[in-house]
């Protein structure tokens, strides 16, 4: 039907064609840290970096295929960029970057810009930022048992537009450290080292980043020694995963000393409590009970730390298998590291069992002390009750004596009183007629 002039004509709304928005440049679809900007914001929020360049200290050691070593220390972004622009990781080469904390409760000795630069020129996976989140300014022992999740990535084939021709391993290694303090203070502390390794399957070169808890540590000293040694660096190049053993061999034995120290303390208090006599003055008190509970709490973080270390060993095992499949390692070298990792797992199992035993012993010792204090209080209360009963009985006896005296007094006192009031007549007085 034709519409005449002036008739209503409905308007037709055409659907708008939306142009799909591009993915953000920082989006990593196959990463646990798919949005790295979120992690950078968290790093800033946690105060993981220094803001003053004068406090910065970053070390870098490069070893080429001929075992020649180049080392540098940098305190500014400009120095770091100059060094990296003039040197690259050669085939079969090793690059080790070390970033330290002033102590394990302080931020990393690096600015945010320098850390971004390191992440950029090493092309590390964004999951490494989750490792860095464990190194920040803190005032209490928060996240003492948290070790983050170990990272393992390896894929020699292309996934879409992503070509991943390298293997990556990253984890946090927590360990016990003995530092003699003032008398009466606990000499043991828990420290951590962040580890990141990237191995290029094409160039057979390795890049390492270590986050150290102090400016000088046993592991850091040994690491520098072996990298600057011709024979040591050659062995590291032959087996790309051997640097992990330098760390583990430096920190693993301390767990046994850590557990033995607290077991010795708990055993001493347990023996003291067992020999107590509640009839005598006790040598244990509420402070003793608090000490035992403190030592029990010192074992609690190990229930999370030690299994996390086993997860780290599993990541290294997977990398070891991948290097064999890629033809980087030969079977004897792969098998040697597999046996080493199995031995570390056996030690971890022993530490886990010892931790469980020590916790049980501490809990039972605490119960024994609490029971001893309760029995002592009951004994003291019973002694006081017996004493009060004796006082009451004594009071009853005294009351009976008082009543007897009162009765006797009531019997004899009136006659005595009458005799006093009515005396006998005198002899010289004659009776009246």
Residue-wise pLDDT for 4-15, tens only, equals 545 545 554 555
* Pairwise pLDDT comparison (285 vs 112), residue with the higher score: 112
Report the pLDDT averaged over residues 342-349. 97
pLDDT for 166 beyond 60: yes
Cα–Cα dist 210/217, whole Å: 12
Q: Is the pLDDT of residue 327 over 80?
A: yes
Nearest to 90 by CA among 114, 120, 66: 66
**Quick check: is 374 in a domain?**
yes
pLDDT exceeds cutoff 50 at 394: yes
121 and 261 housed in the same domain: no
Tally of domains within the chain: 2
**Three state DSSP letters for the chain:** CCCCCCCCCCCCCCCCCCCCCCCCCCCCCCCCCCCHHHHHHHHHHCCCECCCHHHCCEEEEEECCCCCEEEEEECCHHHHHHHHHHCCCCCCCEEEEEEEECCCCCCECCCHHHHHHHHHHHCCCCCHHHHHCCCCCCCCCCCCCCCCCCEEEECCCEECCEECCEEEEEEEEEEEEECCCCCCCCCEEEEEEEEEEEEECCCCEEEEEEEECCCCCHHHHHHHHHHCCHHHHHHHHHCCCCHHHHHHHHHCHHHHHHHHHHHHHHHHHHHHHHCCCCCCCCCCCHHHHHHHHHHHHHHCCHHHHHHHHHHHHHHHHHHHHHHHHCCCCCHHHHHHHHHHHHHHHHHHHHHHHHHHHHHHHHHHHHHHHHHHHHHHHHHHHHHHHHHHHHHHHHHHHHHHHHHHHHHHHHHHHHHHHHHHHCCCCCCCCCCCC
Residues 347 and 383 in one domain: yes
More confident residue, 280 or 77: 77
Confidence (pLDDT) at 159: 41
Same domain (yes/no): 55, 108: yes
**pLDDT reported for residue 272:** 82
**Mean pLDDT score, 172-199:** 91
173, 200, 230 - which closes a domain:
230
196 and 265 in one domain?
no
CA distance 430 to 432: 6
Q: What is the mean pLDDT of residues 190-218?
A: 94
Whether 161 and 290 map to the same domain: the answer is no
Distance between CA atoms of residues 205 and 94, nearest Å: 6
Summarised one tens digit per residue, pLDDT across range 128-156 is 999 999 999 999 989 999 988 899 998 75
Give a yes or no: residue 167 inside a domain.
yes
Asked if the structure places residue 11 within a domain, the reply is no
pLDDT at 433 over 50: no
Residue 107, both tokens: 């931020």
Q: Quote the tokens at residue 380.
A: 């003291």
Percent of the chain scored above 70 by pLDDT? 81
What is d(CA 375, CA 86) in angstroms, rounded to the nearest whole number? 76
Q: What is the pLDDT of residue 284?
A: 80
Same domain, 299 and 223: no
pLDDT of 418 > 70? The answer is no
Instruction: Please state the rounded mean pLDDT for residues 176-182.
Output: 86
Give the pLDDT score at 3. 47
First to last CA, the chain: 171
Question: Using an 8 Å Cβ cutoff, are 99 and 108 in contact?
Answer: yes
Q: How far apart are CA 167 and CA 198, in angstroms?
A: 6
Q: What mean pLDDT is predicted for residues 347-351?
A: 97
20 part of a folded domain: no
Q: How much is the average pLDDT of 323-345?
A: 95
- Please tell me the number of Cα atoms within 13 Å of 218 on its side-chain side: 16
What is the average pLDDT value for the chain, to the nearest integer? 84
Residue 367, domain member (yes or no): yes
Q: What is the pLDDT of residue 158?
A: 41
Read off the pLDDT band of 32 (50, 70, 90): confident
Rg of the chain over all Cα atoms, to the nearest angstrom: 41
The per-residue pLDDT for 289 is 87
Is residue 421 included in any domain, yes or no?
Answer: no
* 420-425: average pLDDT: 55
Give Cα separations from 324 to 164, 204, 299, 400 (angstroms): 17, 13, 38, 102
Residues 190 and 319 in one domain: no
Instruction: Please say which residue of 197, 230, 263 terminates a domain.
Output: 230
- 200 and 270 inside one domain: no
Residue 175 and residue 283 in one domain: no
- Mean pLDDT, range 326-330, rounded to an integer: 93
Q: Does the pLDDT of residue 17 top 70, yes or no?
A: no
Are the C-beta atoms of 30 and 126 separated by less than 8 Å? no
Lowest model confidence (mean pLDDT) among 125-129, 252-256, 374-378: 374-378
Query: With 80 as the cut, is the pLDDT of residue 25 above it?
Result: no
Pairing between β-strand 162-163 and β-strand 158-159 as defined by DSSP bridges: antiparallel
> What pLDDT does residue 397 have?
63
Do 349 and 290 reside in the same domain of the chain? Answer: yes
Q: Residue 288: count other Cβ atoms within 10 Å of its Cβ.
A: 19
CATH (domain of 89): 3.30.460.20
* Residue ranges making up the domain that contains 195: 25-230
Q: How far apart are CA 1 and CA 8, in angstroms?
A: 13
Q: What is the pLDDT of residue 160?
A: 42
**Predicted confidence (pLDDT) per residue in 241-297, tens digit:** 999 999 999 999 999 999 999 999 999 988 888 777 777 777 788 888 888 999 999
- Whether residue 42 lies inside any domain: the answer is yes
Are residues 219 and 266 both part of a single domain? Answer: no
Contact 47, 55 (CB under 8 A): no
Whether 87 and 216 share a structural domain: yes
> Residue 27: what pLDDT?
80
Give the model's pLDDT for residue 1: 47
In this model, does residue 376 exceed pLDDT 80? Answer: no
Q: Is residue 391 part of a domain?
A: yes
- Count of residues for the chain? 433
> Which pLDDT does position 164 carry in this prediction?
60
* 357 vs 29, higher pLDDT: 357
The model's confidence at residue 60, banded by pLDDT at 50, 70 and 90, is: very high
Taking 70 as the threshold, does the pLDDT of residue 432 lie above it?
A: no
């Amino acid at each position: 039907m034709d519409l005449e002039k002036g008739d209503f004509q409905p308007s037709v709304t055409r659907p708008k064609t939306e142009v799909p928005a591009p993915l953000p440049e920082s989006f990593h679809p196959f990463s646990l840290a798919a949005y790295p900007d979120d992690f950078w914001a968290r790093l800033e929020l946690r105060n993981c970096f220094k803001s003053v360049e004068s406090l910065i200290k970053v070390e870098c050691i490069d070893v080429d295929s001929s075992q020649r070593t180049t080392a540098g220390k940098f305190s500014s972004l400009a120095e770091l960029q100059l060094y990296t622009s003039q040197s690259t990781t050669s085939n079969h080469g090793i690059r080790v970057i070390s970033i330290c904390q002033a102590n394990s409760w302080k931020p990393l000795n690096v600015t945010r810009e320098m850390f971004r630069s390191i992440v950029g020129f090493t092309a590390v996976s964004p999951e490494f930022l989750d490792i860095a989140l464990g190194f920040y300014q803190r005032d209490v022992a928060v996240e003492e048992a948290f070790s983050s999740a170990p990272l393992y990535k390896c894929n020699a084939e292309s996934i879409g537009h992503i070509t991943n021709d390298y293997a990556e391993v990253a984890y946090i290694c927590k360990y016990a450290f003995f530092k003699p303090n003032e008398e009466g203070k606990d000499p043991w502390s828990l420290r951590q080292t962040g580890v990141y390794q990237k191995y290029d399957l094409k160039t057979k070169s390795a890049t390492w980043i270590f986050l150290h808890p102090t400016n000088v540590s046993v592991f850091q000293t040994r690491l520098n020694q072996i990298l600057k040694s011709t024979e040591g660096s050659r062995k590291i190049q032959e087996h790309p995963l051997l640097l992990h053993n330098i760390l583990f061999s430096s920190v693993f034995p301390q767990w046994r000393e850590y557990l033995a120290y607290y077991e010795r303390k708990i055993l001493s208090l347990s023996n003291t409590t067992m020999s107590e006599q509640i009839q005598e003055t006790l040598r244990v008190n509420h402070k003793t009970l608090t000490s035992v509970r403190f030592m029990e709490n010192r074992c609690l973080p190990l229930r999370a730390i030690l299994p996390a270390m086993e997860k780290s060993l599993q990541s290294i095992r997977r990398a070891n298998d991948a290097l064999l499949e890629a033809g980087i390692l030969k079977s004897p070298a792969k098998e040697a590291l597999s046996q080493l990792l199995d031995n570390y797992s056996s030690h971890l199992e022993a530490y886990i069992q010892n931790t469980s035993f020590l916790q049980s012993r501490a809990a039972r010792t605490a119960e024994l002390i609490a029971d001893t204090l309760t029995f002592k209080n009951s004994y003291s209360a019973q002694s006081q009750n017996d004493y009060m009963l004796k006082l009451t009985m004594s009071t009853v006896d005294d009351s009976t004596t008082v009543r007897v005296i009162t009765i006797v007094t009531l019997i004899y006192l009136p006659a005595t009183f009458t005799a006093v009031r009515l005396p006998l007549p005198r002899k010289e007085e004659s009776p009246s007629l």
